[in-house]
Amino acid sequence: MKKIQFNVIPSIPKELEGLKELSENLYWSWNPDIRHLFRRLDRTLWDKVQGNPVAMLGSVSQDRLEMRAKDEAYLSHLSRSQDALKKYLEQPTWYNHNHKSKKLSIAYFSMEYGLSNALPIYSGGLGVLAGDHLKSASDLGLPFVAVGLFYQEGYFHQYLSSDGWQQETYPRNDFFNMPARIVRDANNEPIRVAVDFPGRQILAQIWLVRVGRINLYMLDTNIEQNAPLDRELTDRLYAGDSEKRIQQEILLGIGGTKALKAIDISPHVCHMNEGHSAFLALERCRLLMEEKGLNFDQAREATRGGNVFTSHTPVPAGIDEFDASMVDTYLRPYYESMNISQNEFHRLGGTHLPQTRGQFNMAIFAINMAGFYNGVSRLHGKVARDMWHYLWPQVPVHQVPIGHVTNGVHLPSWISENLGELYNQYLGPRWIQEPTDHKVWARVDSIPDEELWRAHERSREKLVSFARNRLERQLANSGATSLDIDRAGEVLNPKALTIGFARRFAQYKRAFLIFKDLNRLKRILNHPDYPVQMIFSGKAHPRDNIGKGIIRDIISTIRHSELRNKIVFLEDYDMEIGNHMVSGVDVWLNNPRRPREASGTSGMKAGANGALNLSILDGWWDEAYQNDRGWAIGRGEVYENHEEQDRVESEAIYFLLENEVIPCFYDRGKSDVPRRWLSMMKKSVQHTALQFNTNRMVKEYFERFYLSSFERWNHLTADNFKAAQQLTKWKTKVEKNWDKIHILSVDANTQKDIKVGEELLVTAVLDIDGLTPDDLCVQVYSGPLDSKGDIEHGHTHDMKVASTKDNNITYQTSLITKNSGQYGFAVRVLPFHKNLTDPFELGLIKWFEESA
């Protein structure tokens, strides 16, 4: 049967045509006044479509539209909203003011984007961070596009069985009722790209989502020209086996790069948000080889400095790996067409390393194809350097070239409307426009305590009302009795100290920790004068039975009569639940096993809303904690015995609640306002909002990585790629002659004690047959010795040529110590070229050994 498809759009009166333009740009997701405009159209329907303006315009009755078309107050609101969007899109930005002369283009690739519930194509923190990244890139006016996959079902929806076991459903997304449209060519035909798969090509159409000033392009394979299984490729996020995963990652990386090419976008810089999109580097090389006649090494040299790789994973098990045979099945024709040998390609994915057990590792591939790589918090940067040290085995761990850019949150998307109005009144609009200006947040002190407290109480009351309604709905859906459903309207106390815990239910996040001593927890929650309550939410991965078991155990526990009204679990955690929780709770609880939390952003959102964090010193809290703005569980210890760790840290949570958190919250004067608590709230807002916003984060990426990548790209590609070809040739020479280098001797007068401030002359003699001094950097690595006699956090000092005799070169430098103690030094040789992204790029390093 031949099906002829057609699309039906709402018949919007001429007076309301501006609604369509407003609905199609996700700027409404961080502009509360525009959201109010759509809510006024039909409040009941707005809740039914979960705040999706496009779906609302497709569902609202014609009578309602005609009525609003004659409503002068509504038309005035519409005009004001249109002006707001127009002003936002046209006004000068940070980029215009600071970098307008830079004609660069940045492309950001991510497997998921958490922008709004109207686009359910995200699973959790990685996607929400990507969404916030786009919104801040828009606010700053960066020359920026984004690429992803458009999932027909997205991530699963969660519901709980009668015994509390997580179940999953996958409702289909209706793309035509979402803020997205198909990208078309000049003839109004959908633009499609073809990606080679074994024995066939898969076609993908491209959808456009407008995120303020930013275009997000998403690929969708659900078109008739594809075979049924290939149409399902973009059905679900993170679903299926490893074969479907590699297919999705090829589509994202290679297909996404082809999509940009098809719509005439040639980015200078590509940012890989995790390793899922790393195959984009391969397609960038192929395009250069095809268009410019370069070989693979030259193309890789030209592009790698223009690739940025961000890892969010603190453990090797979290990295995607594929069997080498599967990689060959899907990519052998591809890499062979580029004259890359099997061995060479596999080595780029680290298959030769014992740590990968022969698997092709996507993070290693990304590192080998990128010029800049980073973790997502200060602690995660350190963890990443430890985790990937084996890629640079002769480099001291702290010098492994992996830095960090600490995550942030997009404040206008996460600050409650109650608090946002207060910020507008006392801080002015610059808290949105310039959130990185400390002068803005210093004005939080000017907010009267009573007003701040009332605004927060309204948010807590709103959260309690929301939780009751959600609980009633989930109980009704689970077949609960009418009595249990009626009781849901009585849970929680709008005035009680409220603790929030919401995140993915992985075992290491330890949602169970506060339940370790149930009797003690009951005493805390049921105190007659100082009541406490908790709200939980979160999903376990569909294949994580341990995580599902934790949810089931919590559900079973909170059914105890003493806890029924004190603890609520809200199923199907999403951005709507997250928004209510981070703005309404008093305390945000986070207790992962350190150092398993790469960053975490929910605590940032809560802190910017005035909640106080009670957290393990892990991820972002490790660098944010001060005792005047929250509480630390422990002192950053790392335990080998997990049972002991759980016991000690659960005790610490109870102790802090009983002796610090609860007394501080209920320390009230005659005005019933907790002054000490409010002092901590203000400090939490001031520090969190200033330091942990995505405007600061995106500026940091731009100034540290994007600009450097762009300048490197321009340099290497200028004059018909002359510098890239020269660098490739130089690397070949160095690798060929490296083993000929010998450090013949190292001398220094260390027989006598060295006084503080006195110079120590170090001399080294090298045989550098086949190379020149200009090819090398000879360094002294020195620093204090630890208890094992190892140099601890050493510093490097470049040595200079003192004399030359044939191939033997004498180098010298002087060390000056500023403190007394036991010190040591070593001499090393590194390759040197002005166009290297870092001195360890080739993986070549030679240290002086006595036997040399």
Which residue's structure tokens are 């958490």? Answer: 114
DSSP string, 80-102: HHHHHHHHHHHS--HHHHHHTT-
Backbone angles phi, psi at 586, to 5 degrees: -95, -35
Mean pLDDT (whole number) for 274-293: 97
Residue 8 has pLDDT above 80, yes or no: no
The residues, any chain, with a CB within 8 Å of residue 72's CB and separated by 6 or more, are none
The residues, any chain, with a CB within 8 Å of residue 151's CB and separated by 6 or more, are 121, 173, 234, 235, 236, 237
389: exposed, middle or buried (Cβ count in 10 Å: 0-12, 13-18, 19+): middle
pLDDT of 6 reads 64
Cα–Cα nearest to 500, from 623, 415, 583? 583
Mean pLDDT (whole number) for 137-153: 97
Residue 22: count other Cβ atoms within 10 Å of its Cβ.
Answer: 22
The residues, any chain, with a CB within 8 Å of residue 177's CB and separated by 6 or more, are 52, 54, 55, 58
Residue 103: count other Cβ atoms within 10 Å of its Cβ.
Answer: 10
Backbone angles phi, psi at 558, to 5 degrees: -75, -5
Amino acid identity for residue 23 in this structure: S
C-alpha separations of 570 from 164, 501, 534 in Å? 12, 11, 11
| Alpha carbon 787 to chain centroid, angstroms | 38
Residue 502 has pLDDT above 60, yes or no: yes
Are 22 and 16 a contacting pair, CB within 8 Å?
no
State the helix-helix crossing angle for 518-525 and 642-656, rounded to 10 degrees. 20
Residue 100 has pLDDT above 90, yes or no: no
Are 610 and 592 a contacting pair, CB within 8 Å?
no
H or E stretch including 66? helix 62-69
Amino acid identity for residue 488 in this structure: A
pLDDT of 754 reads 84
Strand partners, 149: 219
Q: In residues, how long is the chain? A: 852
Are 713 and 837 a contacting pair, CB within 8 Å?
no
Residue 7 has pLDDT above 80, yes or no: no
Cα–Cα nearest to 326, from 233, 228, 241, 232? 241
pTM equals 0.96
Mean pLDDT (whole number) for 758-774: 93
**Distance between CA atoms of residues 589 and 633, nearest Å:** 10
Cα–Cα nearest to 350, from 387, 321, 309? 321
Query: Greatest CA span in the chain, whole angstroms?
Result: 96
pLDDT of 281 reads 98
Mean pLDDT (whole number) for 722-748: 95
E strands in 546-623: 567-570, 587-590, 612-616
**pLDDT tier for residue 275 given thresholds of 50, 70 and 90:** very high
Mind listing the pLDDT tens digit for each residue in 567-590? 999 999 999 999 999 999 999 999
Helix residue spans in 293-416 (DSSP H): 296-304, 324-337, 342-348, 362-369, 378-387, 411-414
What angle (nearest 5°) sits at the alpha carbon of residue 270, between those of residues 264 and 274?
Answer: 135
**Distance between CA atoms of residues 588 and 602, nearest Å:** 8
**pLDDT tier for residue 818 given thresholds of 50, 70 and 90:** confident
Tokens read off for 598: 């790469």
What angle (nearest 5°) sits at the alpha carbon of residue 316, between those of residues 313 and 319?
Answer: 60
Q: In the 8-state DSSP scheme, what is residue 25? A: B
Q: Which is it for the CA torsion 746, 749, 752, 754, positive or negative?
A: negative
**Distance between CA atoms of residues 434 and 230, nearest Å:** 45
Strand partners, 321: 361
The residues, any chain, with a CB within 8 Å of residue 591's CB and separated by 6 or more, are 509, 510, 513, 514, 615, 616, 633, 649, 653
Mind listing the pLDDT tens digit for each residue in 219-259? 999 999 999 999 999 999 997 899 999 999 999 999 999 99
DSSP string, 445-488: GGS-HHHHHHHHHHHHHHHHHHHHHHHHHHHHHTT--HHHHHHG
**Distance between CA atoms of residues 2 and 9, nearest Å:** 23
**Distance between CA atoms of residues 216 and 131, nearest Å:** 10
**Three-state DSSP class for residue 824:** strand
pLDDT of 10 reads 67
Are 628 and 680 a contacting pair, CB within 8 Å?
yes
Cα–Cα nearest to 630, from 666, 679, 580? 679
Q: Which is it for the CA torsion 128, 129, 132, 138, positive or negative?
A: negative
Residue 287 has pLDDT above 70, yes or no: yes
Are 501 and 542 a contacting pair, CB within 8 Å?
no
**pLDDT tier for residue 63 given thresholds of 50, 70 and 90:** very high
Mean pLDDT (whole number) for 403-430: 97
**pLDDT tier for residue 756 given thresholds of 50, 70 and 90:** confident
**pLDDT tier for residue 346 given thresholds of 50, 70 and 90:** very high
pLDDT of 781 reads 96
Tokens read off for 62: 């014609």
Question: What order do you get walking across the sheet with 776-784 strand by strand?
Answer: 795-798, 776-784, 823-831, 846-847
Please indicate whether residue 137 or residue 488 has the higher confidence score (pLDDT): 137
Rg (CA), the chain: 29
What angle (nearest 5°) sits at the alpha carbon of residue 797, between those of residues 796 and 798?
Answer: 120
Q: In the 8-state DSSP scheme, what is residue 225? A: T
Residue 410 has pLDDT above 50, yes or no: yes
**pLDDT tier for residue 848 given thresholds of 50, 70 and 90:** very high
**Three-state DSSP class for residue 734:** helix
State the helix-helix crossing angle for 417-427 and 449-477, rounded to 10 degrees. 160
Q: In the 8-state DSSP scheme, what is residue 220? A: E
Are 222 and 231 a contacting pair, CB within 8 Å?
yes
pLDDT of 757 reads 83
**Distance between CA atoms of residues 263 and 311, nearest Å:** 28
Amino acid identity for residue 147 in this structure: V
**Three-state DSSP class for residue 677:** helix
Percent of the chain, pLDDT > 70?
98
**pLDDT tier for residue 852 given thresholds of 50, 70 and 90:** very low
Are 204 and 262 a contacting pair, CB within 8 Å?
no
H or E stretch including 580? helix 575-584
Which residue's structure tokens are 């099906």? Answer: 3
pLDDT of 709 reads 95
Are 706 and 308 a contacting pair, CB within 8 Å?
yes
Mind listing the pLDDT tens digit for each residue in 444-468? 999 999 999 999 999 999 999 999 9
pLDDT of 320 reads 95
pLDDT of 496 reads 98
Backbone angles phi, psi at 778, to 5 degrees: -100, 130
Are 212 and 86 a contacting pair, CB within 8 Å?
no
Tokens read off for 625: 């904690």
**Three-state DSSP class for residue 305:** coil
83: exposed, middle or buried (Cβ count in 10 Å: 0-12, 13-18, 19+): exposed
Helix residue spans in 659-793 (DSSP H): 662-665, 675-691, 694-701, 707-737
Half-sphere exposure of 418 (CA within 13 A, CB side): 20
Are 143 and 106 a contacting pair, CB within 8 Å?
yes
pLDDT of 103 reads 87
Cα–Cα nearest to 627, from 639, 617, 638, 641? 617
**Distance between CA atoms of residues 195 and 189, nearest Å:** 19
Mean pLDDT (whole number) for 160-170: 94
